[in-house]
Chains A and B, each alone.
Chain A
Amino acid sequence: MRTDSVDESLLVEYLLGRLTEKEEVQVEDRAFADRDYMSALNAAEADLIDAYVKDDLAQADRRAFEHRFLASPERRRKVGFAQALARVTEEAAPLPSRIRETQNTWQAFWNPIRAWNPALRFAGAMGAVICVAGGTWLIVENASMRSHLLSMEAARRDLEGRAQTLRQELSQAQTRAEGRAAVTQNNAPSTASRSPLIASLILIAGPSRAESRTEQMVLGRGAQIAHIEIQVEPRDDYPRFRAEVHTRGGKEVLSFGGLVRRSTGDAQSVAMDLPASALSTGEYEIALKGLRDGETPQDLGYYYFRVQKQ
């Protein structure tokens, strides 16, 4: 059982012996079953003992405490310890509050300035103006860089859009080719059976790992292999990779261990071939993990694609 919430006042009432037996049993059973709740009860007991020692309890609570707590030697020892602790903590330097610290910092800053002569104050003020101007320049420069980055990001998105269009065109061309192949197959079946079609899909990492997109893969009637390439980032320099293919519902389809990274032009990618028969129309997820000896597999990204079977 896990501690969801702890009613502090209930614990205090329990310790002072003010609950009904049914309520007492509930508190005790929960304490024995849940270690966190037991700790909360022990902490409430310590605070109650401290309040008694520091004379912070109301008269009725004090009497109930004495009746209940001073009965056993173990608890009397706890009271004795609390008295010693109260003496030692009183002697310790108080903990400055955060607000007080901040106030003290400002006072420490302004007090010496007040004592300066007018010429020194003027020089100080000029220095402050220069600092403010410098700060403003930095802010403007920063904003300009952000704007530049945004335009680069827009250009990148534009390129991705064009890549997407090209992929769609390729997919349509493949479909047309399959149509033609089917016609050819009817005319010359022996030739078609020797040249199985491969459907390809390239999955690109999003601008951030949290962002995911759904790509489309069309598997024609004659397609036997689905070739999938996942582009990886240069920093993902793992000796091996694992790709786990699941349906969007979480059902495992296939798992590829021992995949290696390869260069495709400027980019790096991991490729795998799936039997087309393992895929049906629907959405899929690929979880890509980096593998290194002696280390736990690292999640590198999740990629989503839709299969359209014809």
Chain B
Amino acid sequence: MAADPSMRSGSPEDASAGAGPAAARQKWALTQDAFDRLLNTLGSDRDTAGTRYLEIRRNLVRLFEWRGCPTPDEYADETINRCARKIGDGEEIRDVGTYCIGIARMLLREMSRDRSQQARPLEDAPEPRVQPAALEIDPDRHVQCLRRCLGKLSPETRNLILHYYQGDKGDKIKNRKSLTELFGIPASTLRMRALRVRERLQLCAENCLEGGPAEA
């Protein structure tokens, strides 16, 4: 691995060397003292450090998700534990975020090695046992909740989200072009606006499914 300016000494390889995530968890668990030291490294005041910690963890979860890890949260926590352990051992880490990403990539290599031991071509893999349509949630209830959440949006935002994601391939492209003209904004801005509304809607629908308030 190339020299990383974020690390004064030690490297993610050292942090992940030897054992897989499960083995490492058995050997070492995060203590209050180690967590406090980690937060002190992230910032001088507790609020800043807490915000930075959450940001690093969110990025780690995304990274493991992108790479197809089945338990991204668990792997993100394991990554942070290893980093905290290194700090507890007296390692000086200049950029904890970059360091954690390094550890995460080591863990992904371990995960990939474990998988390859039982590897077979993708074409030979069985169809997923659970089709997405039959996921744990009742689809009709999901639609019902989504409609409730849509009802909370302004007519303009509702119009945007419904038409932005409406149709297949060609229709979708035409719709999006018409929407950029209608709202007078560039395609990239429209895309980001639609994505933000979609994320809000998903959160609202999930709250509604769990019996919470449907606030979009």
- Write the residues of chain A forming the contact surface with B, with a CB cutoff of 8 angstroms: 14-15, 17, 24-25, 28-29, 31-32, 36, 39-43, 46, 50-54, 56, 63-64, 66-72, 74-81, 83-90, 92, 94-95, 97-98
Contact = CB atoms under 8 A, between A and B. Distances in A.
Contacts of B123: 63
A87 B168 contact: no
B52 interface: no
Given A54-B168, A95-B175, A98-B181, A81 B142 contact: yes
B54 interface: no
Interface of chain B, main secondary structure: helix
B133 A83 contact: yes
A40 B189 CA distance: 10
12 contacts: A29-B101, A36-B188, A67-B122, A74-B65, A81-B202, A83-B133, A84-B146, A87-B139, A89-B163, A89-B167, A94-B166, A97-B174
A28 B162 CA distance: 30
Contacts of A78: 202
Given A70-B130, A95-B175, A28 B65 contact: no
Contact of B192 (A43, A50, A84): A43
Given A28-B63, A54-B168, A17 B68 contact: yes
A70 B128 contact: yes
Interface stretch (B28-36, B69-77, B83-91): B69-77
Contact of B146 (A68, A76, A85, A90): A85
B169 interface: yes
List the 4 closest pairs (A to B, CB-CB), nearest first.
A84-B142, A68-B68, A89-B166, A92-B162
B126 to A, nearest CB: 10
Contacts of A76: 132, 135
A8 B23 CA distance: 39
B206 A77 contact: yes
Contacts of A51: 169
Interface in B178-193: 178-179, 181, 188, 191-192
